[in-house]
Amino acid sequence: MRPRLYLIRHGQTEWSLSGRHTGGTDLPLTPEGEAESRALAPWLAQITFSHLFTSPMRRARQTCALASGMAAPAAELEADLAEWDYGDYEGLRSAEIRRQRPAWNVFLNGCPAGETPSQIALRADRLLTRLGTLSGNVALFSHGQFSCALAARWIGHKVADGRHLALDTASLSLLDQPADHPELRVIALWNANPRLLREG
């Protein structure tokens, strides 16, 4: 049985709220981030997971605990689910970076003293190869820009194409392979969250 990858971005932090690039800075969720993570629980409770993996960062682990409830202790830490290493751009907003590099985009240019798109591609491919040996429903608690890169690599695209994907905090996405076309990888669901349903 092929794996179905349920990709969950962590809930809101102070830096995600203000648009600051957050790689290795280990921030907790805000109260709103905790609430939106809890709002995912009824969705995830309808899915039987064979495996749960979470980024080692506190914001992802908290989201995992709040969204998956009793299943959270079974979650395994997976270093390859960590956010992009932003290097010298850690803590900066995109507008601040573009004052020095007007055309900069992390998916195209990477970060000085941090990860390049090619390094992210290698990390994403390595993770997908390991996950491909599993079966059943697999939960992945991760981060915004790495998750967009992972989705791009899932469908065979370059990391650069991740820039065309938007991913909100505490959102649920599904990377799948249709039963009638098991050789085809698809993004079956993207950026779903209870807040968007309420707003829209």
> For the chain, what are the domain ranges?
3-199
For residue 112, report the phi and psi dihedrals to the nearest 5 degrees.
-60, 135
Of the pLDDT bands very low, low, confident and very high (cuts 50, 70, 90), residue 200 is: very low
Question: At 191, is the secondary structure helix, strand, or coil?
Answer: strand
Whose tokens are 């689910």? That residue is 81
pLDDT at site 71: 63
Catalytic residue annotation: 10, 83
Question: At 125, is the secondary structure helix, strand, or coil?
Answer: helix
pLDDT at site 182: 85
pLDDT of residue 198 exceeding 60, the answer is: no
Contact 129, 103 (CB under 8 A): no
Q: How confident is the model over 43-56, as a mean pLDDT? A: 95
| Interatomic CA distance for residues 133 and 17, integer angstroms | 36
Q: What are 73-110's pLDDT values in tens digits? A: 789 999 999 999 999 999 999 999 999 999 999 999 99
Q: What is the pTM of this model?
A: 0.95
Of the pLDDT bands very low, low, confident and very high (cuts 50, 70, 90), residue 150 is: very high
pLDDT at site 134: 96
pLDDT at site 196: 65
Identify the CATH number of the domain defined by range 3-199: 3.40.50.1240
pLDDT at site 108: 98
pLDDT at site 183: 87
